[in-house]
Amino acid sequence: MSFRQLLASAAVFAFAGVALAQTAKAPASQSTAAAPAAATSASAAPAADAEKQLLALQATPVKPGDAAAGQGKAAACGACHGMDGNSTDPQYPKLAGENEQYIVRQLMNFKSGVRVNSIMQGMVAPLSPQDMHDIGAYFASKRSLPGVSDQTLAVAGGKLYREGDAARGIPACMACHGPDGRGNPGAMYPQLAGEHADYVQKTLQAWHDGTVWGDEPHAQIMPAIAQRLDKSDIEAVASYVEGLHTAQPGESVSGPEAPAPAASAAKPAAAGTAPAPAASAATAGSNGKH
């Protein structure tokens, strides 16, 4: 089982690109402890239906998203996600600045049922693929407000984010999500910068425990990575991304935000390229807090 999983992961990494070539030859020692992926095929018949529905949604012709039209259509979303996509309650992910392609992908995932969440299932029921694009364009036009990293976690989290851990087959998150967490719209890699640590932690833990958002190769990437993350990795990297700031050093942050505390919170981690002792202390000392 874990050997097959490993082959599958290696294939995913190869598929995902050269940045991950190192992970394919990494030793398997850690992943043998990962939870079995049996949960993925818990209900074969409904899953096949969901896949079919997803393909149909994805094949529906649409015009590029219209942010102005999307603003009105997004009114119902504001109660949880914030009117500008900066939710204040950490159980609701921030959508501000998230790329349109990723938002559309997730809305279609919810609508088809390949991603299961009862709240979102109700919210997407009335949305057409065009509505999804318009709403996606609206939130993509907003800027995510960064949170603040926990300093005791950010060093270990930042190291994992920027370097991964080759010995355990964990790729650098940065390779896909970008050095500043901005993501990559063309590849449908989501922005992570500023996302609530609680939500990130919950999502990574669910993948670690066997949740998968459908059958497509794209949807296997994160579960394969999250299987190799332990609880303290997840806690640390989640805290780090919450403090990530989408402006590059030297680039000015437009808009009213530019909050100095958050920017400086992320800095020690970004600057600390070799704090091995601190990193291992944080990793060892932080489990079961949540």
Residues that bind ligand HEC (CB under 6 A): 16, 20, 76-77, 79-81, 91-93, 95, 103, 105-107, 117, 119-120, 123, 135, 160, 170-171, 173, 175-177, 188-190, 192, 195, 200, 203-204, 213, 218-219, 221-222, 225, 237
Exposure string of 146-182, with b = 16+ CB inside 10 Å and e = fewer, is: bbbbbeebbbbbbbbbbebbeebbbbbbbbbbbebbb
Nearest distance, CB of residue 237 and ligand HEC, angstroms = 4
Beta bridge partners of 170: 165
- Which of 90/268 has CB closer to ligand HEC? 90
Nearest distance, CB of residue 113 and ligand HEC, angstroms = 12
Dig out the tokens for 112 from the structure: 């088809």
Dig out the tokens for 69 from the structure: 């039209």
Nearest distance, CB of residue 248 and ligand HEC, angstroms = 20
- Which of 163/257 has CB closer to ligand HEC? 163
Cβ neighbours for 272, distance < 8 A, ≥ 6 positions apart: 155, 158, 159, 278
What CA dihedral angle connects 76, 242, 169 and 225, to 10 degrees? -10
- Which of 119/271 has CB closer to ligand HEC? 119
Torsion over CA: 101, 13, 281, 274 (sign):
negative
Nearest distance, CB of residue 141 and ligand HEC, angstroms = 14
Cβ neighbours for 126, distance < 8 A, ≥ 6 positions apart: none
- Which of 184/261 has CB closer to ligand HEC? 184
- Which of 252/273 has CB closer to ligand HEC? 273
- Which of 72/256 has CB closer to ligand HEC? 72
- Phi/psi for 35 (5° steps) reads -65, 145
Nearest distance, CB of residue 273 and ligand HEC, angstroms = 17
Nearest distance, CB of residue 208 and ligand HEC, angstroms = 11
